[in-house]
Structure 1
Amino acid sequence: MARKYSEKAQEKVGEVMHEFKRGKLKSGSGKKVTNPKQAIAIGLSEARKKGSKVAPRAKPER
Structure 2
Amino acid sequence: MTKAKRKWSQELTEHSDAMDLKESVFKSDDPKKIAASIKHFAVASRRRKSSPFRSAMSMLSFNINRAGDQLTKKKKNTFEQAKEELRKDLGRKTKR
Q: Please report the TM-score for the alignment, with normalisation by the length of structure 1.
A: 0.40
Larger Rg: 2
Higher share in helix: 2
Please, what TM-score do these two structures have when normalized by structure 2? 0.28
Select the structure with the greater relative contact order (CA < 8 A; seq sep ≥ 6): 1
